[in-house]
Structure 1
Amino acid sequence: MILGMSDTADQAERTDERTVRERRAACYREARRSLSRAGFRGTIRERLTDLVEHAPGVHDLDDRADIYGDRIVAALEERVAGLLGMEAAAFFPTGTMAQQVALRCWAGRTGNPAVALHALAHPEVHERHALSQVSGLRPVRVTGAPRLPTADEIRDLPEPFGTLMLELPLRDAGYLLPSWEELTDVTRAARERDAVVHFDGARLWESTVHFDRPLEEIAGLADSVYVSFYKSLGGFGGAALAGPKTLVEEARTWRHRYGGAVFQQFPTVLSALVGLERELPRLPDYVRHARVVAAALREGFAAAGLPWARVHPEVPHTHEFQVWLPYEPEVVAEAAVRQAEETSVLLFGNDWDRGGPGLAFTEVTVSGAGLEWTADDVRDAVAGFAARLPGAARP
């Protein structure tokens, strides 16, 4: 096959991107300092060793293994229902399945398959139209603005809907959360239209600092809530759907129909219990320190004289946020990797995406490893990163 010039260029670009990802993965494992060290990036041996070390503290390992959702799975479900202040919860292998089942059940109960949601919501962006293609639901976009929907937008939506789905935080808009007053107004507006409210709470665990409310009070604004066990808690995978007992029982039936009645799930469930025990209590500290890191990043960019840089949101709502810079993604990705290779300091460990012509953004996560960084450490790291951008003097 003969490749044209454009094909050859595209292939070269993909090869360069793959090479940078491989180098970054090596840096992630070997760097002396980074703002987070996600467990999923570890080796199988590391993951199993960590589980064996911490599992005895969260469940009796002499208990018989689960079969189709009993024993340890039921224990996790009870724990989650209690944390969220709900009547019951059901464990699911994936969040995509959990939410489709929840929304399908609500559609049957309300008699309306329309689901009002944000244009950046996970089902719209990351699930290949699963709501409509698999579950017969009809997504209705409330807004595409980079913020959560407002109460007026819910009231003025020009067609009826059975369920309002809110992603908290809204990841693709910068891990954004509304204010508590805005959230209560939006849920009230949905109920004024005889709709139920479902929270896509994959990362709801980390919202308590922003709302200054306990989890059960936040979840209590919704009729049902989905939570993830790996996005913030470091589990192997898995999700839970929590809500009224009758809804959860119906969801278990649909879980089976969707292929989610897994024979044994104890390794994943154990990792979820470890995450609830170990990471959940630390998330507020991560969120508070993310604000310190974000402020220091802004100060560092200003001191480095970058023509334009933005931390979004300026004060992070969770322990994750975005950084935007006026460069092509491959340029800033290379600078970040070179800094880590040359100094063993990995400031930006995630992919850089294109935000527009000459504009790139990445996501920053501050977790346990990041708590070791002072504001001065962050500013120094920014200076080293900026010095590796085109046109800058080498450090």
Structure 2
Amino acid sequence: MTDTAEQGGEQSAQERLRERRAAAFLGAERVLARAGFRGTLRERLAWLQEAAPEVYDLDEPGDMYGNRIVEALEDRVAALLGTEAAAFFPTGTMAQQIALRCWAGRTGNPTVALHALAHPEVHERSALSEVAGLRPVRLTGEPRLPTAEEVRDFEEPFGTLMLELPLRDAGFVLPSWEELTEVVEAARERDAVVHFDGARLWESTVHFERPLDEIAGLADSVYVSFYKSLDGFGGAALAGPRTLVEEAKTWRHRYGGMIFQQFPTVLSALVGLERELPRLPQYVSHARVVAAALREGFAEAGVPWARVFPEEPHTHEFQVWLPYDPDVLAEAAVRQAEQTRTLLFGVPWDRGGPGLGITEVTVRADGLAWTADDVKAAVVDFVARVREVAGEAVETVEAIETVGK
């Protein structure tokens, strides 16, 4: 078999697994999180039709190029975050590029200091440099936010410090409030402005024990997402001083973000602020119950090594690390859902190293029904299937080696 054929076969296997995972999710009776985007189009439209009258007068005219209902959402976000103004954007990538290039123009320095695992560095195909003409520099690659010392002692000037709160790819981690305050102060000492990548800032209030406006008030500007935690259709907002926001709107037009009508997405964002935002603290609290039960469950199941990170989640999302090949873990997770209608791990498993699989766990409304005993029972069942799949993989390898001889 050629390399190309092997790659095609592997791709097909991965595609089949994705299809099975999607079908298993739809058929599962028990999940820890049932995000709306996984539903059918009919379900999403029905949800919006049912919820929209709660948040906006549907007899009002629709929006055109960012007015009316879009402005209502912008005002709501500015009030929640305690900023002078906010601007709606179709994507967070666009919002942050524009925010950072606006700050670069004001500071005269295109260098942006950020974490090596920050979203622009990992998920945006070098957009800051390729599109916005900025120069990102990495303060650290450690699985935590940069420290005040790292900011203060960085070897070259930078105009903007960007902090992702929470830092998703490090395990949805947050610093302590004292650490965050010190980092911001260190940036100010260097005459740098501070921008928060707050895609998931909404759920940080529990960890910081501070309201949203106090958290956002530390930064010069803040970006927030409407779908990552609030279950909207998409969209983002940039909040900050009115002069910055007005300049950002000009760039929004230049970037192609002045969409003719956006009311479905904006309505879903307003629904998220009304329904999901107040529930996020409850999700965070229960995520800590789930995390503890997962640790206990893996120990009871005799897994030689397992890690939940952070040990006490900072938000309602966290990582799980297990000493098995991610392909084995993925197959076991799908089988559990197919055979028991319980989906414990619904997110793909990534390779963290040889024989190490890493996944993310999110706890939302559906997860609140799970007791600690429910979680532990599901873990024991999952581990049994992991061992089953691993055993099958060994038998397959042995059979191939026997044929080869």
Question: Normalising TM by the smaller chain, what interval?
Answer: over 0.9
The 1:106/1:9 distance shift into structure 2, 3 A limit, reads: same
| Deviation of 1:13 (Å) | 2.2
**2:332·2:389 contact (CA, 8 Å) conserved in 1?**
no
**1:100·1:135 contact (CA, 8 Å) conserved in 2?**
yes
| Deviation of 1:38 (Å) | 0.6
User: 1:34-55, CA deviations, whole angstroms, 9 ceiling, x for partnerless residues?
Assistant: 0000100111110000000000
Q: Distance in 1 between matches of 2:4 and 2:181?
A: 51
Query: What is aligned with 2:288?
Result: 291
Counterparts of residues 346-385 of structure 1 (less than 5 Å): 346-385=343-382
Pair 1:327 & 2:324 matched: yes
Query: What is aligned with 1:129?
Result: 126
Query: What is aligned with 1:80?
Result: 77
* Amino acid corresponding to residue 367 of structure 1 in structure 2: R
* Amino acid corresponding to residue 77 of structure 2 in structure 1: V
* Amino acid corresponding to residue 183 of structure 2 in structure 1: V
Q: Distance in 2 between matches of 1:316 and 1:346?
A: 20
Correspondence for 1:181 among 174, 178, 181:
178
Secondary structure of the structure 1 residue equivalent to 2:312: coil
Pair 1:159 & 2:173 matched: no
* Matched residue count: 391
Task: Please report the TM-score for the alignment, with normalisation by the length of structure 1.
Answer: 0.98
Task: Please report the TM-score for the alignment, with normalisation by the length of structure 2.
Answer: 0.95
| Deviation of 1:391 (Å) | 5.5
Aligned-residue CA RMSD in angstroms? 1.2
Secondary structure of the structure 2 residue equivalent to 1:188: helix
Q: Distance in 1 between matches of 2:311 and 2:5?
A: 40
* Amino acid corresponding to residue 74 of structure 1 in structure 2: E
Q: Distance in 1 between matches of 2:167 and 2:121?
A: 12
Q: Distance in 2 between matches of 1:390 and 1:56?
A: 50
Query: What is aligned with 2:275?
Result: 278
Query: What is aligned with 1:387?
Result: 384
Query: What is aligned with 2:242?
Result: 245
Q: Distance in 2 between matches of 1:393 and 1:38?
A: 30
Correspondence for 1:201 among 198, 201, 223:
198
Pair 1:138 & 2:135 matched: yes
Q: Distance in 1 between matches of 2:354 and 2:28?
A: 31
Query: What is aligned with 2:307?
Result: 310
Pair 1:22 & 2:19 matched: yes
| Deviation of 1:20 (Å) | 1.3
Secondary structure of the structure 2 residue equivalent to 1:166: strand
Counterparts of residues 255-274 of structure 1 (less than 5 Å): 255-274=252-271
Unaligned runs of 5+ in 2: 392-405
Q: Distance in 1 between matches of 2:361 and 2:106?
A: 40
**1:386·1:392 contact (CA, 8 Å) conserved in 2?**
no
Query: What is aligned with 1:226?
Result: 223
Q: Distance in 2 between matches of 1:178 and 1:56?
A: 39
Deviates more, 1:15-24 or 1:299-308: 15-24
| Deviation of 1:12 (Å) | 2.3
Correspondence for 1:33 among 24, 30, 33:
30
Deviates more, 1:83-92 or 1:9-18: 9-18
Query: What is aligned with 1:89?
Result: 86
| Deviation of 1:392 (Å) | 8.8
**1:387·1:393 contact (CA, 8 Å) conserved in 2?**
no
Unaligned runs of 5+ in 1: none
Pair 1:340 & 2:340 matched: no
